Amino acid sequence: MITVVRAGPLTTIQDQGRPGYAHLGVPRSGALDQRALRRANALVGNPPSAAALETTLLGCALRFDEPARVAVAGAQAVVKLDKVPVEAEVIEVPAGSVLDVGRAIHGVRSYVAVDGGLDVEPVLGSRSTDTLSGLGPPKLVNGTTLAVGFLQSPLGAADKSDISGQLELGVWLGPRDDWFSGRELFDTAYEVTPMSNRVGCRLKGAPLTRARHGEMASEGVVLGAIQVPADGQPLIFLADHPTTGGYPVVGVVDDVTPLAQARPGSTVRFRELH
């Protein structure tokens, strides 16, 4: 068992998510930075499907009842074992020790994988916490205990996350790009705001100019959809997004993974895909 000593502001259990249920109103959820999750799992010999922890900005601290191999990937943070800093990505944790993943220095979210994976009850085939619907295990609090499973695969590695203060995201226009005039989306830079979370990344910059006004009926939205509320500021839907929305979607980002590590103030530019 693992006991949460310090939960941090938002630490959740995540895996690859539960795709295929949008028609039932259930978003994919899962790790925001899938590359970092795969890397952490590979480093401790877990299959990519294993559940791990996703921390947010301030990390978390865990006490281990039994010896364990642990990997930390994603956001760069100071990791300490029994208050002693360790720099290795893979850490051999003795029984009774406390592993502390500290404040993110670069990026936002760190992924903490334990050999064997976290053994919690799956919901619709996934162990992911969905912060919007409440599906899956609750977010961690101090004192939470977690069971470790027995999954095992050959030790490996995966690509590191690309953590940068300036992002360029490819966008497929539509389905409601005809509701807007001008090229503000592609001609200007936007800034990630502190209002961003697992549901969506809120941006601040040049408002998109409406060519059509009035209301529209709610429509289905997908991961990466760029919804434009009444103030004209784009909102990019992330893993815990709702499955329908009533504001027009000007386009869809082809890969939202970089946004998982985008801190408030990061610059986002869009590039049109054809």
193-251 pLDDT, tens per residue? 999 999 999 999 999 999 998 888 999 999 999 999 999 999 999 999 999 999 999 99
Classified as helix, coil or strand, 121 is coil
Between these two residues, 88 and 11, which has the higher pLDDT value? 11
Q: Does position 164 have pLDDT exceeding 90, yes or no?
A: no
Residue 113: pLDDT over 90: yes
Which of the four CATH numbers 1.20.140, 2.60.120, 2.30.30, 2.60.40 does domain 2-146 have?
A: 2.60.120
Question: Greatest CA span in the chain, whole angstroms?
Answer: 63
- Whole-number pLDDT of residue 175: 96
Grade residue 162 by pLDDT with cuts at 50, 70 and 90.
Answer: confident
pLDDT of amino acid 214: 84
% of the chain at pLDDT higher than 90: 88
pLDDT at residue 182, as a whole number: 84
Which amino acid belongs to residue 120? Answer: V
- Cβ atoms of 96 and 66 closer than 8 Å: no
| pLDDT value of residue 157 | 63
The dihedral sign for the CA sequence 90, 94, 95, 98: negative
| Spans of all domains in the chain | 2-146, 166-272
Nearest-CA neighbor of 136 among 145, 146, 124?
A: 124
Report whether the peptide linkage leading into residue 175 is cis, meaning its omega lies within 30 degrees of zero.
yes
pLDDT tier for residue 161 given thresholds of 50, 70 and 90: confident
> For the domain with range 166-272, which CATH number is right: 3.40.50.10470, 2.40.50.140, 3.10.20.30, 2.40.100.10?
2.40.100.10
Is residue 151 a contact partner of residue 50, using CB atoms and an 8 Å limit? yes
With CA atoms as reference, report the closest residue to 31 among 124, 112, 121. 112
* Averaged confidence pLDDT in the chain: 94
DSSP state of 208: P
Is residue 105 over pLDDT 90?
yes
